[in-house]
Amino acid sequence: MASIVLTNVDKIYAGGVKAVNGLNLEIRDGEFMVLVGPSGCGKSTALRMIAGLEDISGGEISIGEKVVNHLPPKDRDIAMVFQNYALYPHMTVEENLAFGLKLRKMPKPEIQKRVGEAAKMLGLETYLKRKPAALSGGQRQRVAMGRAIVREPQAFLMDEPLSNLDAKLRVSMRASLNTLHERLGVTTVYVTHDQVEAMTLGDRVCVLRDGILQQVDTPQNLFDKPVNLFVAGFMGSPAMNFVTAELVRGDGGAAVTFADIKLSIPDSTFTDKPGLDQYVGKKIILGIRPSDFEDAGSAGNHANGWATLPVKVEVTEELGSEINVLFLIDAPPVEHKDTVAAADSGEDEEASLPLVGDKSLWTARVNARSHARSGQNLDLVVDTHNLHFFDSASGLAIGHEANR
């Protein structure tokens, strides 16, 4: 096992496209690091550079203290799992698993032992004599994992390994991956465009956009303290709601106003976000997570001191345990380049209604005890402790420690 360190890594393709731009990233020994971002953000390129399948245009990559810039993949002691599994079609499962070990001139009994152990761990024992063509998608996926595991490498590199599986299998494989990492403790770099996978799997998550690192942190910190509009909009499903608002300070303390709504801001916010008071009287972009809303009727006591927001429900999405309430805010949608980029990439986002016109469509995730139905008027309460404020020009989160 080893740590992987990327220092100022660049990748410039022929034609001048900069796929990865000055990437600095330290993946600690035994860590599960997820690289996430919209398609074309450079996450796969970064992974392939670590693997040695792409040349590095600039900077330095080291695995376990050893600079590997010019080492071919076979000398980097890493194992990789590919999106379409990339099994050797003319070999049986057993031969697929043993191939890498045979090439390393490992003695036969040792190969058999490792292949046996991996097959047992992944439940592949009965399929060892089959060819990949005779396996289901999930089984092929497990063979691909097994091929990585038997190698006992310094690090696992995984390039969207679950994206070809159906939804249900993906969830169960996600859980198996977590257990596997817990048990083996091998440094893992995992690429995905699915932010749910990123949140559930990663010890830390690295958000990339256009080849530039946006933020690296634990999933919870990414969710609670996004560094800019892009990360805020990309992480979390449904996506964060944005509006251009004005920060005001009056007799009753500070507040944000937009449309006809005024949400008061608790004093603690200003101590948490130093620099926010400089924006008083100015336009900012306000962000509210759908999960920070609650139906006033079913919120109960814990909503004490929360601000109230009367809305008219456009559409509801009932998910069983929760209800997504979609409603319109009488303010133009925020058209910052970051929010547009984040929204484009979301694959499971609801397509915006073509009828909303010059208004913003917001989503609130409320408890299923709420009886919100389409067309009704509803009072929502907002947890004003969790409001997010962004500079309307730069898109950076105001008061975030990385932006101070």
Partner 1 sequence: MERKRRLGPMGVLTHAALGIWTLLVTVPIVWTFLASVKSEDEIFGDAWSLPATLQWDNFARAWEQARIGQYMLNSLVVVSFSTFGTMLVGSMAAYVLARYPFRGNRAIYMLFVSGLAFPFFLALTPLFFVVQNMGNVPVIGQFIGLNTYAGAVLVYIAYSMPFTVFFLAAFFRTLPTAVAEAAMVDGASHTRVFFQIMLPMAKPGIISITIFNILGQWNQYQIPLILLQDREKWVLTQGIADISTAAGYDADWAALFAALTLAILPMLVVYTVFQRQIQSGLTAGALK
What is the SS3 assignment for 182-194? Answer: HHHCCEEEEEECC
Query: How long a stretch of residues is the chain?
Result: 404
Residue 57 contacts partner 1 per CB under 8 A: no
Question: DSSP of 228-290, one letter per residue?
Answer: BHHHHHHSSSSPPEEEEEEEEEETTEEEEEETTEEEE--THHHHHSTTGGGGTTSEEEEEE-G
Q: Is 158 in the site for partner 1 (CB under 8 A)?
A: no
Contact between 72 and partner 1 (CB under 8 A)? yes
Q: Which one, 62 or 269, has the nearer CB to partner 1? A: 62
Site string for partner 1, 109-148 (x = CB under 8 A): --------------------------------------x-
46, 49, 51, 229: which one contacts partner 1 (CB under 8 A)?
A: 51
Spatial CA neighbour of 99 closest among 139, 134, 132, 50: 132
Report the residue number, 89 or 252, with the smaller CB distance to partner 1: 89
Pick the binder of partner 1 from 20, 78, 118, 288 (CB under 8 A). Answer: 78
Q: Tell me the closest approach of the beta carbon of residue 104 to partner 1, in angstroms.
A: 6
Q: Does residue 84 belong to the site contacting partner 1 (CB under 8 A)?
A: yes
* Whether 37 contacts 25, CB under 8 Å: no
13 binds partner 1 (CB under 8 A): no
Q: Which is nearest to 364 in space by CA: 232, 239, 255?
A: 239
Choices 63-71, 74-82, 200-208, 259-267 (CB under 8 A): range interacting with partner 1:
74-82
Q: How far is Cα 146 from Cα 139, in angstroms, rounded to an integer?
A: 10
Please pick, from the candidates 88, 137, 220, 401, the single residue that binds partner 1 as defined by CB under 8 A: 88
Considering the rule CB under 8 A, would residue 58 count as an interface residue with partner 1? no
Six-digit token string for 268:
């603690």
Q: How far is the CB of 63 from partner 1 (least distance, A)?
A: 13
66 binds partner 1 (CB under 8 A): no
Q: Taking the C-alpha atoms of 367, 37, 234 and 59 in order, what is their torsion angle to the nearest 10 degrees?
A: 130
Q: What are phi and psi of 255, to 5 degrees?
A: -155, 165
Binding segment (CB under 8 A) for partner 1, from list 49-57, 185-193, 206-214, 290-298:
49-57
DSSP secondary structure of 345-382: H-SSSPPPPTT-TTSEEEEEEEETT----TT-EEEEEE
Stretch that binds partner 1, among 67-75, 119-127, 176-184, 241-249 (CB under 8 A): 67-75
Judged by CB under 8 A, the stretch of 34-42, 81-89, 295-303, 362-370 that binds partner 1 is: 81-89
Residues at the site binding partner 1, with contacts judged by CB under 8 A: 51-53, 72-74, 78-80, 82-84, 86-90, 99-100, 103-104, 147, 151
